[in-house]
A and B are shown apart, each in its own frame.
Chain A
Amino acid sequence: MTLAYYPGCSLQGTSREFGESFLAVVEALHIEMTEIDDWNCCGASSAHPVSRDLGVALPARNLALAAEMGADELVAPCAACYSRLAAAQYHLAADTDLAARMPGILGRPLPPALRIHNVVDLLALHAPRIEELVAARVDPPLLKDLRVAAYYGCLLVRPNEVTGFDDAEQPTTMEAVIGAAGASPVAWNMAVECCGGAFSISRTQSVVRLGRRIVADARAHGAQAIAVACPLCHTNLDLRQAAMTGRGKEPLPVLYITELVGLAVGLSPAELGIKRHFVDAAPLLAELAGKAEATAASAAAPAAAKERA
């Protein structure tokens, strides 16, 4: 198996911390991958409403480049990139006319079908490795008892025939990753509700209204943090959270799933870029660190007492 890496634009721009934490976690888990040489824009939400051919051709070129470098699997951490790449592959398989046109548009042969991963299912595949690394840590487990709401949004799970995610309405893959990281996923109601997507700028009020329900429900079900795997979801829940929550309400940190896994396997918040969030995660991390130390101390105390005796 050869894994190609498609970074996309967000991971180098507005969501740098997603890219940083992804690369750090990939290194920590010893996942081998190679960045696609000369990759181009996935088309995002702009290309496919303008032209179907363009919406397929842009991601198809990336797929073809990945195949040309010998890859049979590909990971696209950004949920929108993932969705476009998977959709292109789906349409090329389903529409023979489109598939026949494509080599002419791309100027290269049609790529064979690749196994396309999003970050959640890639981490789920490596869940045993994550568990091993968490168990092997000498210092006390940081995320123990941390209650996390797994928020999927739309692009990872829908449409189900394109993504093939575990369940379009009640997905559980991210919960499995959170569990592997040693934290506790909470049962809540808004895991696949809409975050407002790309309306963050053009219709901010709608995004605030939608996000408020998500954050409030996560809080009502006892979550201390929300885990996401999509730059758009992160922007909406993190950047707009100040507008959602009333004064005096404790803000709810929104962490990328890669950041959570990174913390679990012992990477530092700085390596994971956690300082870049609008909702400051530092108080939560301090609280967790305090708790972990206290646990370690109480565990060490009897041992020390024994030693003294």
Chain B
Amino acid sequence: MARVGVFVCHCGENIARTVDCAAVAEALADHPGVAHAEDYKYMCSDPGQALIKRAIIDKRLTGVVVAACSPHMHEKTFRRAASQAGLNPFLCEMANIREHCSWIHEDREAATAKATDIARTIAEKVKHNVPLETIHIPVTKRAMVIGGGIAGIQAALDIADGGHEVVLVEKDASIGGHMAQLSETFPTLDCSQCILTPRMVEAYQHPNIKLMTWSEVDSVDGYIGNFKVTVRKKARSVDADVCNGCGDCMAACPNRRTPSEFDAGLGTRSAIYVPFPQAVPNTPVIDRANCGRFKAIAKGIKKEVCGKCATACLKGAIDFTQQDELVTEEVGAIVVATGYQLYSIGREQPEGLKGYGEYGYGEVPDVIDGLQFERLASASGPTAGEIRRPSDGKAPQTIVFVHCVGSRDPEKGMSYCSKICCMYNAKHAMLYRHKVHDGRAVLFYMDVRAAGKGYDEFTRRAVEQDGAEYLRGRVSRIYRDGDVVKVVGYDTLGHEPVEIDADMVVLATAMRPQPGIKELAQTLSVSYDEHGFINEAHPKLRPVETNTAGVFVAGACQAPRDIPDSVAMASATAAKVLALFSNAELEREPAVAAVNEATCIGCLTCERVCPYGAVEAKEIRDRAGNVVRMVASINPGVCQGCGTCQAVCLSKSIELATFTDEQIHSEIEALAFWP
């Protein structure tokens, strides 16, 4: 005979305000099989837990129902308490009378009746609970970091310093990411490359870091502790082991007109190239889309074209025949740090976003975006750090900076604040005024959001010491008018329309996740928001975990982030990975599905519907070793306990531990029999 204990929590006023908790306990005390029922103000408190433990021992309880908050909150707490009193933890269940009842209802009488019903269903369920043991799975103590920007580099270094091997995968030819493109960084105005390149070199030289540049993640199998990641090493056309990075090939390349990605399209590069002088590794790649030889091959021309780079290379490192290569890496944890791209402003936009045709970007050459200004201000940039406008190379005497282009504009499909623009606009205005002393820097802003250590002081400095002119308001139109770029806007503090004849305009465009982020997220089974940013598991309490165990997230692929935030997140993911690797085995909840092989008809419908790939066909053999029939088999390490297979099983051969058919039916019966 079952002896169930029911414990009704007031949650202070959270539940007691709308539910008569004493009445619920009283009603449950008369429920068949209930040996004990009581209510208490804070069941999760130490004295509350003590009540449960004492009742388990005194009343020899065979099951416990805690009618309180969501199991997401305190299931672990109460299961641990039950186990301390000698009860198998999986005989303890929670009835959610807070999120599912008290918080959403006002009528006290009805809410009390509903809370009683909820508690009854769980009491009926608990009668059918069986003791379960946690599952132990092995851990591969090796991590993969996807993305080699500052976040990825930091995560890789921290994990590697913790004594574990890291595979750092970067899609471009060099690690460094956007930070390598920046001129100076806020709020200290220190040179971005000067602080970044030592980290890049450290990652390159670290004995525990395996660097895979010009590579992309192709597919991911497995589960926490046991991932198998297939990485596509794109054909570099250069043998990295032989190349000594002398650069003769680049000097020999006749194509010098390919727009440089590193210079945000303001400079040019050769078809065989390293993105920038301090690239890590310093091994060039051939951009096959722009190389004459490969273009000829693509057109079907048989004759071998050009090949000047191969002739110039004294080491014989150029290999035109290289193919993409698929490499499988076994890792126990994955950090996603793929960073951002800038919203591209023009009229044509992907994914239903709207452009700002009225801002003339792409049509007026002197309208540029923030990253392009970084390149203009950078010593390694196309103008060697002199601020000169793209159209005619003139030093601009008036620059207008426009905040929030795309950001905070639901009309354009991006409701969020991109966070870094207020700071870098102030920085741009300062850098410009430091270089062009008599120049005028006008900034159109919505609000100046400078929350961060030393940030507000920085923007004040731009105004007070460097003479940046801030105008509160939006720009309605930017167009070319002869030699000048006309900026038409409205000053909402001065209540007047403003027209400025600018020489150059810099648009602070919204940060968006990298293209391909959704496909990568689907490969990793992690969720993303409506903008494509990766979702964290909890916005406050689990900021670097994702909803897939063993996959962590750092930097601007989760939301717009500046460098300090990205680095902090990266170190946080490293701490999570190292904690995971500190155990020999992982413990998992036994809420997984299992197949009754005696009744399974081997239709494998479950295999087709399983979103996690946890079901495989298994052969049943007789003693002579002949295959008798096929059945489904579920890998408990991969199973996430969603129950889809159980629902579709034609022969009713799959049961999900903790949610068996019997348990669910008895819950329904409880609702039907006790009005």
Could you mark each residue 342-357 of chain B with 1 if its beta carbon is under 8 Å from any beta carbon of chain A, else 0?
Answer: 0000010000001011
Residues of A within 8 A of B (CB): 167, 169-170, 189, 193
Q: Write out the residue numbers on chain A whose beta carbons fall within 8 Å of the beta carbon of B479.
A: 189
* Contacts beyond the supplied A167-B357, A189-B486: 12 A-B pairs with Cβ under 8 Å: A167-B354, A169-B356, A169-B357, A169-B358, A169-B477, A170-B347, A170-B357, A170-B358, A189-B477, A189-B479, A189-B481, A193-B477
Q: Which 9 A-B pairs have the closest CB atoms?
A: A170-B357, A189-B479, A169-B358, A170-B358, A169-B357, A170-B347, A189-B477, A167-B357, A169-B356
In angstroms, how far is the closest chain A Cβ from the Cβ of B520? 32
Can you list 14 pairs linking A and B with CB atoms under 8 Å apart?
A167-B354, A167-B357, A169-B356, A169-B357, A169-B358, A169-B477, A170-B347, A170-B357, A170-B358, A189-B477, A189-B479, A189-B481, A189-B486, A193-B477
Residue of A nearest to B477 (CB): A189
Query: What is the predominant secondary structure among interface residues of chain B facing chain A?
Result: mixed
Q: How large is the interface on B (under 10, 10 to 19, 20 to 34, 35 or more residues)?
A: under 10
Interchain nearest-CB distance for A91 vs B (Å):
21
Determine the residue in chain A with the shortest Cβ distance to B359. Answer: A169
Bound together, the chains give a CA A170 to CA B345 distance in angstroms of 13
Docked pose: A300 CA to B347 CA in angstroms: 43
| Bound Cα distance A82, B479 (Å) | 30
> A169 vs B476: C-alpha distance in the bound complex, in angstroms?
9
Interface residues of B in 321-379 (CB under 8 A from A): 347, 354, 356-358
> Which B residues have a C-beta under 8 Å from some C-beta of A?
347, 354, 356-358, 477, 479, 481, 486
Complex CA gap A170/B348 in Å reads 12
CA distance A170 to B358 in the complex (A): 6
A residues near B357, Cβ cutoff 8 Å: 167, 169-170
Minimum CB distance partner of A170 in chain B: B357
Chain A residues with Cβ below 8 Å from B477 are: 169, 189, 193
**B486: chain A residues within 8 A (beta carbon):** 189
Residues in B neighbouring A193, C-beta threshold 8 A:
477
Q: Report the bound CA distance from A256 to B490 in whole Å.
A: 31
Q: Residue on A with the closest CB to B354?
A: A167
Q: Residues of A contacting B358 with CB < 8 Å?
A: 169-170
Whole-angstrom CA separation of A250 from B356 in the bound complex: 34
| Chain B residue with Cβ nearest A160 | B411
**Considering only CB atoms, which chain B residue lies closest to A167 in the complex?**
B357
CB-CB under 8 A from B354, the residues of chain A are 167
In the bound assembly, the distance between CA atoms of A193 and B347 in angstroms comes to 19
Q: Which residue of B lies closest to A169 (CB)?
A: B358
What's the minimum C-beta distance from A157 to chain B, rounded to whole angstroms? Answer: 12
For residue A189, which residues in chain B have a CB less than 8 angstroms away from its CB? 477, 479, 481, 486
Minimum C-beta distance from B115 to chain A (A): 36
Quote the shortest CB–CB distance from B344 to chain A (angstroms): 15
B321 to chain A, nearest CB (A): 47
Q: Give min CB distance, A233 to chain B, whole Å.
A: 18
Q: What's the nearest-Cβ distance from chain A to residue B318, in Å?
A: 45
Question: Complex: how many Å from CA A189 to CA B481?
Answer: 9
Closest Cβ of chain A: how far from B519's Cβ, in Å? 30
Q: Which one of A167, A189, A193 has the greatest number of beta carbons of chain B within 10 Å? A: A189
Shortest distance from the beta carbon of B502 to any chain A beta carbon, whole Å: 15
Measured CA separation A170–B356 after assembly (Å): 9
Please measure, in the bound complex, the distance between the C-alpha atom of A193 and the C-alpha atom of B477, giving whole angstroms.
10
Q: Chain B contacts of A169 at CB under 8 A?
A: 356-358, 477
How far, in angstroms, from A105 to B347 measured CA to CA in the complex? 45
Q: Which residue of A lies closest to B355 (CB)?
A: A170
Distance between Cα atoms of A167 and B356 in the complex (Å): 10
